[in-house]
Amino acid sequence: MTTANRSETNAASPERISDVITPWVERQPDHPAMADGDGVWTYGQLGRAVADTRVWLLDSGIRPGDRVMIVGENCRAFGVLLLSLASIDAWSVPVNAHLSAREMNDIRKHSGARRVLYTASISPHAAEHANRDLATMAAPAGLAGVAIGPLAEDVEPEPLDPNIAERTAALIYTSGTTGLPKGVMLSNKNLLFTAAGSARIRTLTPQDRLYGVLPMSHVIGLSTILLGTLISGATVYFAPRFDPMGARVALEKNQITIMLGVPAMFAQFLRYAKMKKADSLHFPALRIISCSGAPLDASVKSASEKLFGLTLHHAYGITECSPNVTQTRVERPRTDTSVGEAFPGVELKVTGKDGQPVADGEVGDLFVRGPNIMKGYYRAPVETAAAIDGDGWFNTRDLGRLENGNLFLVGRSKDLIIRSGFNVYPAEVEGVLNKHPSVVQSAVVGRSVDGDEEVIAFVQPVAGVELTILELNEYAAARLAPYKRPSQFVLISEMPTTATGKIMKAKLTVSTLGTSQQTEGPPVTATPQSS
């Protein structure tokens, strides 16, 4: 078992996530805090924006303990809404605007959201959802472009924990292995622990400038980038979505010092460089590049290091762990694809089937314990008890091995597909496809391609009914976020099954593809969702 040195943690963390800006508003009010395509806010301006937004939220009927959805993409307004909601002890429910109306409704219903806020001016997808919700543009002047949906008068606020640090600050949804929405309750303590630790690992100072392309609707963007930057008095430059050309311009123009991404993002950089016939990309200010959210292919790591002239660090995290579990250290760079050492203050253990720790180098089930572990799944006490045991150990359901304190992942939750850093649970996609009136059953699998995974859907139509690939594409597009939509549909007359009728996915192979209809699905932007 590996236990990190707890002296590395930040013992003086603020109580609420909104408190991270307080010392910097006082010490460096003119220093830039947040920037996006529309401008820059200093820490003084950010402090005033949070204060004004706090008043507006209270006037809008939002109470401590209420759940409030924020639908959008990265921008200054999204960050201010997160901080302002925390300041009144409301629960932020950050949601990626690329989700479908069905997915949005599922989260809204399960969370019991009091209001839904939309960053409509920065995100056309958020604007579409806002129009569907009959939302109005009524935010304070500093948040021009934010729309607010109708008040849900019948919902009740959650009771407040007497300990401010233990109060839920964010409710982040993952689909879960069942395909049903699962809300992860993360406290102020959870998020601040990760923010302080990740800032310390990278020795962040007010002179650092982080590239904020990982979405704040997911926990990496929220805790590591937004809060990790602000707790350090540094500056975050938001981008709503990733493309290598735009990223190159942003890195050069803004003299970015830290760029965090997912492996697929670096794979896109490599393709961009190949197209431009560039052997290297020179960014004099850039000092750290790191990725997480998906397995890192050794060839992507080595080629990226050659391209940038820097070590490509790697980390492992899970939404339920806020998300940091392990991280390679800047002072101890790795030449392999290990996901690094235990995050400061976090304990790891790798156990066998008997529940006992295995020897160093042996593969087993990975468990995590520490201040990063979630409060639990919202309105799901049975699932919470199954995930966290009586001693506080969280079951990651991943397989790994420890070698001299460094973790190597060798397997993960059954059937999970990681596409461009987003987690795709086949059960959810299958559940949507199986509701099509012309579909008997479906089976969704992942397939490795260029250091990433794509989603393949095998579909068995009703006998005698004509079902086209185009029809399936349109059906999925109306009900699933782009990263969940199959990149290929394969029509198959009969599924291979066991004697009990269970689909044998292992037999759905490339050879099957060769005799079935297929098509390419939508492109996916490389931004992550932790598991």
**Higher pLDDT residue, 181 or 290?**
290
Q: What residues have CB less than 8 Å from 154, skipping those under 6 apart?
A: none
Q: Model confidence at 195, in pLDDT bands (50, 70, 90)? A: very high
Q: What is the pLDDT of residue 524?
A: 42
How many Å apart are CA 450 and CA 471, to the nearest integer?
28
Q: What is the pLDDT of residue 519?
A: 47
What is 2-403's CATH number?
A: 3.40.50.12780
Q: What is the pLDDT of residue 511?
A: 46
**What is the value of pTM for the model shown?**
0.83
Query: At residue 515, does pLDDT exceed 80?
Result: no
Q: What is the pLDDT of residue 531?
A: 38
How many Å apart are CA 92 and CA 69, to the nearest integer?
6
DSSP 412-457: -STT-EEETTEEE-HHHHHHHHTTSTTEEEEEEEEEEETTEEEEEE
Closest CA to 440 of 411, 458, 421, 462: 462
Q: Read off the pLDDT of residues 135-157 as tens digits, 9 standing for 90 and up.
A: 999 888 788 899 999 999 999 99
Q: What is the pLDDT of residue 520?
A: 45
Q: What residues have CB less than 8 Å from 190, skipping those under 6 apart?
A: 169, 223, 322, 371, 372, 373, 374, 375
Whether residue 323 is preceded by a cis peptide bond, meaning omega within 30 degrees of 0, is yes
Q: What residues have CB less than 8 Å from 232, skipping those under 6 apart?
A: 199, 204, 205, 206, 208
DSSP 336-359: S---EEEPTT-EEEEE-TTSSBPP
Distances in Å between the Cα of 180 and the Cα atoms of 109, 143, 186 are 12, 33, 19
Range of weakest confidence among 53-57, 169-173, 317-321, 352-356: 352-356
Q: What is the pLDDT of residue 8?
A: 37
Closest CA to 50 of 30, 10, 79: 79
Q: Read off the pLDDT of residues 8-62 as tens digits, 9 standing for 90 and up.
A: 333 346 999 999 999 999 999 999 999 999 999 999 999 999 999 999 999 999 9
AA identity, residue 401 = R
Q: What is the pLDDT of residue 179?
A: 59
How many Å apart are CA 395 and CA 382, to the nearest integer?
14
Report which DSSP code applies to 471.
Answer: H
**Higher pLDDT residue, 504 or 261?**
261
**Higher pLDDT residue, 419 or 340?**
340
How many Å apart are CA 136 and CA 148, to the nearest integer?
5
AA identity, residue 276 = K
What is the overall mean pLDDT for the chain?
Answer: 90
Q: Read off the pLDDT of residues 302-321 as tens digits, 9 standing for 90 and up.
A: 999 999 999 999 999 999 99
**So where are the chain's domains?**
2-403, 417-513
Q: Decide: helix, strand or coil at residue 265.
A: helix
Q: Read off the pLDDT of residues 429-462 as tens digits, 9 standing for 90 and up.
A: 888 898 899 998 888 999 888 778 899 999 999 8
Q: What is the pLDDT of residue 473?
A: 94
Q: Read off the pLDDT of residues 387-397 as tens digits, 9 standing for 90 and up.
A: 999 999 999 99
- Find the mean pLDDT for residues 68-96: 97
Q: Model confidence at 175, in pLDDT bands (50, 70, 90)? A: low
Give the class (CATH, top level) of 417-513. alpha beta
**Higher pLDDT residue, 425 or 235?**
235
Q: Of all helices (H) and strands (E), which one includes residue 410? A: strand 406-411
Q: What is the pLDDT of residue 525?
A: 41
Q: Read off the pLDDT of residues 250-305 as tens digits, 9 standing for 90 and up.
A: 999 999 999 999 888 998 899 899 999 999 999 999 999 999 987 888 888 999 99
Say how many CA atoms lie within 13 Å of 461 toward its Cβ.
16
Q: What is the pLDDT of residue 346?
A: 98
Query: At residue 116, does pLDDT exceed 70?
Result: yes
Q: Read off the pLDDT of residues 463-502 as tens digits, 9 standing for 90 and up.
A: 889 999 999 999 999 999 999 999 999 999 888 875 545 6
How many Å apart are CA 167 and CA 164, to the nearest integer?
5
Residues in the chain: 531
Task: Report the percent of the chain where pLDDT is more than 90.
Answer: 74
- Residue reference for tokens 């639908």: 71
- Find the mean pLDDT for residues 224-234: 98
